[in-house]
């Protein structure tokens, strides 16, 4: 395998570098999303039961002990529990503006890798074909397949290498984006429920 890769020429270096970055980002993001993912329904049910008892401090404490953006959003809302609904919603929006970039961290790098790897492969193909035509010119039209093989190897290996990295990187990017969308949806759903709970609690106290 190393011998084949070496025949791809210098273009294989950035292609391989892209593959290492892709794997590192994918593993790091998977771990991050795994920690951020919680059973939202169960979490909100627990917060609801605590709020029914009027224990805001305990609800905030549970949010602090729970990892992930959903708990962070709920905590931000609970800290403003005695404020008007509009102010609570604004606080949630501000908290979301901090959480979403954390979820999307390095995804743009992964998308760039998925798009640039085929171009690197194409670049290697062009270099390989240039080498082939240079050899043909040097041989004055006499075809010697052994001397042409080097350029053909470069063309084929770089194309294959670029695609071999780009395809799984593109699939991984789409999968991670779907995970982010799912977490954002959980954030929106949880925030709406907690705002309604706080509003109901305030109305009950006013009565």
Start-end of H helices in 7-84: 12-36, 40-52, 56-65, 69-78
What pLDDT sits at residue 154?
81
User: What digits encode the pLDDT tens for the residues 122-172?
Assistant: 998 898 888 877 777 777 666 666 666 667 778 888 999 999 999 999 999
For 141, the token pair is 């039209």
Tell me if 191 sits within 8 A of 77, measured CB to CB. Answer: yes
List, as one string, the DSSP characters of 66-123. S-SHHHHHHHHHHTTTTS-HHHHHHHHHHHHHHHHHHHTTTHHHHHHHHHHHHHHHHH
pTM: 0.85
- 40/142 Cα distance (integer angstroms): 71
User: What digits encode the pLDDT tens for the residues 99-129?
Assistant: 999 999 999 999 999 999 999 999 988 988 8
What pLDDT sits at residue 132?
77
């Amino acid at each position: 395998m190393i011998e084949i890769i070496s025949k791809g020429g210098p273009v294989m270096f950035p292609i391989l570098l892209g593959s290492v970055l892709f794997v590192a980002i994918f593993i790091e993001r998977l771990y991050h999303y795994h920690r951020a993912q919680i059973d939202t329904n169960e979490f909100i049910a627990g917060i609801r039961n605590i709020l029914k008892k009027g224990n805001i401090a305990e609800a905030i404490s549970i949010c602090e002990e729970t990892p992930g953006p959903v708990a962070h959003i709920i905590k931000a809302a609970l800290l403003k529990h005695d404020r008007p609904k509009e102010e609570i919603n604004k606080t949630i929006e501000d908290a979301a503006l901090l959480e979403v970039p954390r979820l999307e961290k390095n995804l743009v790098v992964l998308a760039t890798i998925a798009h640039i790897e085929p171009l690197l492969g194409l670049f290697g193909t062009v270099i390989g074909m240039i080498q082939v035509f240079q050899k043909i010119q040097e041989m004055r039209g006499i075809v010697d397949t052994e001397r042409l093989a080097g350029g053909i190897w470069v063309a084929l290996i770089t194309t294959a290498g670029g695609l071999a990295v780009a395809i799984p990187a593109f699939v991984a990017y789409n999968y991670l984006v779907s995970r982010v969308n799912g977490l954002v949806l959980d954030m929106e759903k949880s925030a709406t429920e907690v705002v309604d709970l706080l509003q109901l609690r305030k109305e009950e106290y006013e009565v």
